[in-house]
Structure 1
Amino acid sequence: MYTEGYIEVTGGRVWYEKFDNGANRTPVIILHGGPGSSHHSMQGLKALSKDRPVIFYDQLGCGKSDRPTDPSLWHIDRFVEELAQVRDALSLDKVHILGHSWGTTLAAAYCLSKPVGIESVIFSSPCLSAPLWAQDQDRNRKKLPIEIQKTLTKCEKEGTTDSKDYKEATQEFNNNFVCRINPLPEFLTKNSHLKNPEIYNIMWGPSEFHVTGNLKDFDCTSQLKEITIPTLFTCGRFDEATPESTKYFSSLTPNSEFHVFENSAHMPYLEENVEYLQVIGDFLLNLS
Structure 2
Amino acid sequence: MGVPPSAKGTVPFGEHRTWYRVTGQLHSGRPPLVVVHGGPGSTHDYLQNLAALADEGWPVVHYDQIGNGGSSHLPDRGADFWTVDLFLAELDNLLRQLGISDDYTLLGQSWGGTLAAAHASARPAGLRGLVIANAPASYPLWLEELARIRKELPDGVNETLLRHEAAGTTGTTEYHQAMQVFYERHVCRLKPWPRDYTASFYEVYNDPTVYYAMNGPSEFHVIGTLRDWSVTDRLARIDVPTLMITGRHDEVTPLSAQPFQDLVPGLRWEIFEESSHMPHLEEPERFLGALRTHLRELL
- Is the TM value for this pair above 0.5? yes
State the Cα deviation string for residues 66-106 of structure 1 (Å, max 9, x = none).
21232343111100000010000011111101000010121
Instruction: Give the aligned residue type for 1:15.
Output: W
Do the aligned residues in 1 keep the contact of 2:44 with 2:200 (CA within 8 Å)? no
Do the aligned residues in 1 keep the contact of 2:46 with 2:198 (CA within 8 Å)? no
State the Cα deviation string for residues 113-161 of structure 1 (Å, max 9, x = none).
3322111111000122001110111111011012101101111111111
Q: Give the secondary structure class of the aligned counterpart of 1:216.
A: helix
Does 1:48 find its partner at 2:59? Answer: no
Unaligned runs of 5+ in 2: none
Distance 1:191 1:239 in 2: 18
Does 1:59 find its partner at 2:65? Answer: yes
Deviation of 1:193 after TM superposition, in Å, equals 4.5
Query: TM-score scaled by structure 1?
Result: 0.95
- Counterpart in the other structure of 1:8: 12
Distance 1:95 1:266 in 2: 25
Does 1:86 find its partner at 2:94? Answer: yes
Q: Give the secondary structure class of the aligned counterpart of 1:87.
A: helix
Q: Paired residue for 1:283, among 271, 285, 294?
A: 294
Q: Give the secondary structure class of the aligned counterpart of 2:260.
A: helix
Distance 2:123 2:297 in 1: 23
Distance 1:265 1:250 in 2: 19
Count of residue pairs brought into register by the alignment: 288
- Counterpart in the other structure of 2:23: 19
Q: Paired residue for 1:256, among 227, 246, 267?
A: 267
Segment drifting more, 10-19 vs 106-115: 106-115
Q: Give the secondary structure class of the aligned counterpart of 2:74.
A: coil
Deviation of 1:187 after TM superposition, in Å, equals 4.2
Distance 1:191 1:104 in 2: 17
Question: Which aligned pairs between 1:1-288 and structure 2 lie closer than 5 A?
Answer: 2-20=6-24, 24-49=29-54, 50-69=56-75, 70-71=77-78, 72-92=80-100, 93-190=102-199, 192-195=201-204, 196-288=207-299
Superposition CA RMSD, Å: 1.6
Q: Percent identity?
A: 38
Do the aligned residues in 1 keep the contact of 2:30 with 2:59 (CA within 8 Å)? yes
**In 2 relative to 1, CA 188–111 (structure 1 residues): closer, same or farther, beyond 3 Å?**
closer
Distance 1:219 1:190 in 2: 29
Segment drifting more, 275-284 vs 178-187: 178-187
Query: TM-score scaled by structure 2?
Result: 0.92
Do the aligned residues in 2 keep the contact of 1:11 with 1:73 (CA within 8 Å)? no
Unaligned runs of 5+ in 1: none
**In 2 relative to 1, CA 137–191 (structure 1 residues): closer, same or farther, beyond 3 Å?**
closer
Deviation of 1:200 after TM superposition, in Å, equals 0.5
